[in-house]
């Protein structure tokens, strides 16, 4: 007998509501215009026997579209759980609206103090632990590419999709909004990857690139992926991951090399005199 | 809870609950600055400056919603709030923006100008300030600066020029104990040592673990030279009035420690 989830997922993906990544993980792609390019502000839907889980909620900027897509994609069932990577508004902004629409579903969020983050009703996830959500196991990872203290990356152990919040993003050209890495011309992405990380993760100007790269690669080795699923970029299939990582590492090196601290610059000038 | 630091300069503090998890972690690592039986707070601070015009810097967390309105009402006593500055749209800093604007609808919302995603934070209608911009409050004069050490891209630091106060937002924060709330660092019986500063920064600026240590320490030296502040007013610590150079030196060592030992948790 065919898996009903698979049939449903494929049919929905064909209608354009979602983009299917794996058998039961779908990407709900939303975009925000930045100059003549776009920035994804997406979320992901996981269909499991215990119900529908979303990873992040998207931005209130896209509220109507997201709720409409989720309603259609779930055939009116809505969502039964939400896993939040962090409380930044473009990731968490629709939680109150989802709760009005679909009731008090379970919310799993990383933070030391849920009340301070405005999520008093959330179940806390801790970096390094694995939690069951609607019967499915998720591991919460310490994210090498993030800004907020309480951000976690979320590894779905069944699909092997790694949800990476603000990491692995890229600006993209119009017309490529709903494409995954295997459909994109990778050579055209380098600039979008560099510009995204330079703008979103400003601390990269201080980074020691080999340290960061080593940690990223260790994490990916320990958690083999089918897809890397960023909120602010096109999803990256395992087959294209090495190429993306090369572009990311080159970007990080360029960002770090491009920033010289005034104090060091002054000292170098004095030494050269 | 608020304290008037000097005439027209108010410090509003939300201490939140005892952070038992952090206290236990400190003691588990052999830290002695948080003895058993003491409460540990990681505060949210907002600062109100009043001259001919008034300005509030940050809004506290959603749990401090009633507190910030009560304190503003008490201090302003019917006068208007002219500017509401959001240092960055992070929940513990910006969580009461809408509530304050409902209470003080005439206030001009002020937001970091850099970046291009303001509409994703309801900041598209704000007055956007970039490094070098000033607001003359008819007494206090505030100037905006690049947020050097930060946890969000849309971010701004501020100084008050008359008192040479630096508002470094998430940098130079630290937990305090019960009985230390709203006290100046120079009023404490103990020193704020590197352990407290590292506890905070290894959680909040956890990315210090990936930095080029020399470069980042050089940036701290540069900040000390650039600002030469007389006072530090952090978003998550106590106000520092004396021996500022000492704290800049400690912050260089915090970078080294986090780079060597990694993060100890989240906040």
Q: Look at A118 and B225 and tell me if their CB atoms are within 8 Å.
A: no
Tell me the C-alpha to C-alpha distance, in Å, between residue B183 and each of B72, B159, B164, B219: 20, 21, 19, 29
Q: Look at B212 and A203 and tell me if their CB atoms are within 8 Å.
A: no
Q: Residues of B with CB below 8 A from A147's CB?
A: 150-153, 207
Q: Higher-confidence residue: A183 or B52?
A: B52
How far B120 CA lies from chain A's nearest CA (Å)? 6
Confidence band (pLDDT; 50, 70, 90) for A12? Answer: low
Contact B140, A62 (CB under 8 A): no
Q: What is the pLDDT of residue A72?
A: 95
- As a whole number of angstroms, the distance between CA A121 and CA B199 comes to 27
Confidence band (pLDDT; 50, 70, 90) for B19? Answer: very high
B192-232 confidence digits (pLDDT tens): 999 999 999 999 999 999 999 999 999 999 999 999 999 99
Q: Look at B212 and A61 and tell me if their CB atoms are within 8 Å.
A: no
Tell me the C-alpha to C-alpha distance, in Å, between residue B61 and each of A138, A202, B109, B177, B253: 29, 24, 17, 19, 30
A83 has which bridge partners? A55, A108
pLDDT at A270 over 90: no
pLDDT at A3 over 50: no
Q: Look at A202 and B150 and tell me if their CB atoms are within 8 Å.
A: yes
Confidence band (pLDDT; 50, 70, 90) for A7? Answer: very low
Q: Which of A22, A157, A18, A138 is nearest to A74 (CA)?
A: A18
Q: Look at A200 and B153 and tell me if their CB atoms are within 8 Å.
A: yes
Q: What is the pLDDT of residue A185?
A: 79
Q: What is the pLDDT of residue A116?
A: 82
B233-246 confidence digits (pLDDT tens): 999 999 999 999 99
B37-71 confidence digits (pLDDT tens): 999 999 999 999 999 999 999 999 999 999 999 99
> At which residue do the structure tokens 């660092």 appear?
B185
- As a whole number of angstroms, the distance between CA A136 and CA B5 comes to 52
pLDDT at B178 over 70: yes
A38-80 confidence digits (pLDDT tens): 999 999 999 999 999 999 999 999 999 999 999 999 999 999 9
Q: Which of A39, A31, A34 is nearest to A66 (CA)?
A: A31
pLDDT at A265 over 70: no
What does the mean pLDDT of chain A come to?
91
Q: Which of B233, B255, B231 is nearest to B244 (CA)?
A: B231
Q: Which of B204, B208, B150 is nearest to A212 (CA)?
A: B208
Scanning A50-89 for CB atoms below 8 A from B yields 59-61, 87-89
Confidence band (pLDDT; 50, 70, 90) for A6? Answer: very low
Contact B170, B233 (CB under 8 A): no
Q: What is the pLDDT of residue A234?
A: 96
Q: Which of A102, A89, A29, A93 is nearest to A65 (CA)?
A: A29
- As a whole number of angstroms, the distance between CA A166 and CA A32 comes to 15
pTM for this prediction: 0.94
How far from each other are the two terminal CA atoms of chain A, in whole angstroms? 80
Q: Give the contacts of B130 (CB within 8 A, at least 6 positions apart).
A: B112, B113, B114, B144
Q: What is the pLDDT of residue A2?
A: 34
pLDDT at B175 over 60: yes
A129-138 confidence digits (pLDDT tens): 999 999 999 9
Displacement of CA A9 from its chain's centroid (Å)? 20
Contact A255, A204 (CB under 8 A): yes
Residues in chain A: 273
Q: What is the pLDDT of residue B95?
A: 94
A192-216 confidence digits (pLDDT tens): 999 999 999 999 999 999 999 999 9
Buried b (16+ CB within 10 A) or exposed e, A257-267: eeeebebbeee
Considering only alpha carbons, which residue of chain B is nearest residue A149?
Answer: B204
Map B127-179 to HEC letters.
EEECCCCEEECCCCEEEEEECCCCCCCCCEEEEECCCCEEECCCCCCCCEECC
Q: Residues of B with CB below 8 A from A118's CB?
A: 61-62, 91, 95
Return phi, psi of residue B98, to 5°: -65, -40
DSSP sequence for A55-93: ES---GGGHHHHHHHHHHHTTT---SEEEES---HHHHT
Residue A245 near chain B (CB below 8 Å): no
Q: Look at B150 and A35 and tell me if their CB atoms are within 8 Å.
A: no
Q: What is the pLDDT of residue A9?
A: 53
Contact B56, B193 (CB under 8 A): no
pLDDT at A115 over 90: no
- As a whole number of angstroms, the distance between CA A202 and CA A213 comes to 16
Q: Which of B61, B116, B218 sits opposite A261 (nearest CB)?
A: B218
What does the mean pLDDT of chain B come to?
97
Contact A187, A247 (CB under 8 A): no
- As a whole number of angstroms, the distance between CA B44 and CA B59 comes to 9
- As a whole number of angstroms, the distance between CA A63 and CA A57 comes to 9
Q: What is the pLDDT of residue A138?
A: 98
Q: Which of A62, A7, A122 is nearest to B91 (CA)?
A: A122
Return phi, psi of residue B250, to 5°: -60, -40
- Return the number of other C-beta atoms located less than 10 Å from residue B229's C-beta: 22
Q: What is the pLDDT of residue A4?
A: 36
Interface ipTM above 0.90: yes
B141-146/A25-28 β-pairing:
unpaired
Contact B181, B128 (CB under 8 A): no
Confidence band (pLDDT; 50, 70, 90) for A271? Answer: low
Q: Is the dihedral of CA A120, A25, A136, A5 positive or negative?
A: positive
- As a whole number of angstroms, the distance between CA A103 and CA B3 comes to 42
Share of chain B above pLDDT 70, in %: 100
């Amino acid at each position: 007998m065919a898996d009903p989830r698979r049939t449903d997922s494929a049919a929905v993906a064909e209608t354009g509501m979602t983009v299917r990544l794996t058998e039961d993980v779908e990407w709900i792609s939303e975009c925000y215009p930045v100059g003549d390019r776009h920035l994804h502000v997406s979320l992901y839907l996981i269909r499991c026997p215990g119900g529908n889980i979303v990873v992040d909620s998207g931005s209130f900027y896209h509220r109507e579209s997201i709720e409409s897509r989720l309603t259609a994609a779930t055939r009116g069932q809505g969502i039964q759980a939400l896993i939040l990577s962090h409380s930044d508004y473009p990731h968490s902004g629709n939680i109150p609206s989802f709760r009005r629409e679909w009731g008090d579903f379970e919310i799993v969020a990383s933070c030391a103090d849920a009340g301070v983050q405005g999520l008093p009703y959330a179940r806390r996830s801790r970096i390094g632990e694995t939690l069951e959500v609607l019967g499915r196991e998720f591991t919460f990872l310490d994210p090498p590419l993030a800004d907020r203290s309480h951000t976690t990356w979320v590894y779905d152990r069944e699909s092997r999709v790694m949800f990476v919040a603000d990491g692995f993003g890229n600006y993209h050209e119009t017309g490529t909004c709903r494409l995954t890495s295997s459909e994109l011309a990778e050579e055209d992405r380098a600039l979008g990857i560099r510009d995204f990380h330079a703008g979103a993760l400003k601390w990269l100007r201080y980074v020691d690139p080999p340290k960061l790269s080593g940690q990223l690669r260790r994490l990916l080795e320990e958690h083999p992926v089918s897809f890397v699923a960023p909120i602010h970029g096109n999803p990256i299939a395992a087959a294209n991951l090495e190429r993306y990582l090369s572009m990311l590492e080159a970007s990080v090196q360029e960002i770090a090399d491009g920033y010289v601290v005034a104090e060091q610059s002054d000292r170098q000038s004095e030494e050269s005199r | 809870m608020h304290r008037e630091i000097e005439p027209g300069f108010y410090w509003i503090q939300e201490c939140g609950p005892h952070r038992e998890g952090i206290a236990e972690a400190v003691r588990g690592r052999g830290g002695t600055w948080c003895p058993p039986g003491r409460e540990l707070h990681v505060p949210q601070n907002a600062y109100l400056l009043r001259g001919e015009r008034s300005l509030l810097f940050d809004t506290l967390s959603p749990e401090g919603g009633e507190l910030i309105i009560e304190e503003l009402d008490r201090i302003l006593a019917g006068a208007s709030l002219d500017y509401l500055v959001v240092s960055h749209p992070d929940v513990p800093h910006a969580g009461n923006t809408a509530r304050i604007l409902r209470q003080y609808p005439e206030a001009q919302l002020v937001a970091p100008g850099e970046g291009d995603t303001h509409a994703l934070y309801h900041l598209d209608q704000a007055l956007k300030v970039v490094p070098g911009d000033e607001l003359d409050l008819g007494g206090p004069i505030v100037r905006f600066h690049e947020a050097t050490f930060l946890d969000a891209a849309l971010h701004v630091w501020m100084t008050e020029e008359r008192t040479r106060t630096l508002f470094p937002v998430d940098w130079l924060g630290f937990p305090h104990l019960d009985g230390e709330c709203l006290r100046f660092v120079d009023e404490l019986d103990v020193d704020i040592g590197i352990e407290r500063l590292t506890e905070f920064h290894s959680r909040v600026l956890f990315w210090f673990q990936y930095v080029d240590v020399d470069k980042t320490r050089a940036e701290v030296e540069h900040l000390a030279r650039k600002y030469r502040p007389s006072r530090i007013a952090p978003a998550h610590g106590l106000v520092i009035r004396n021996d500022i150079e000492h704290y800049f030196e400690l912050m260089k060592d915090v970078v080294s420690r986090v780079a060597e030992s990694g993060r100890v948790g989240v906040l």
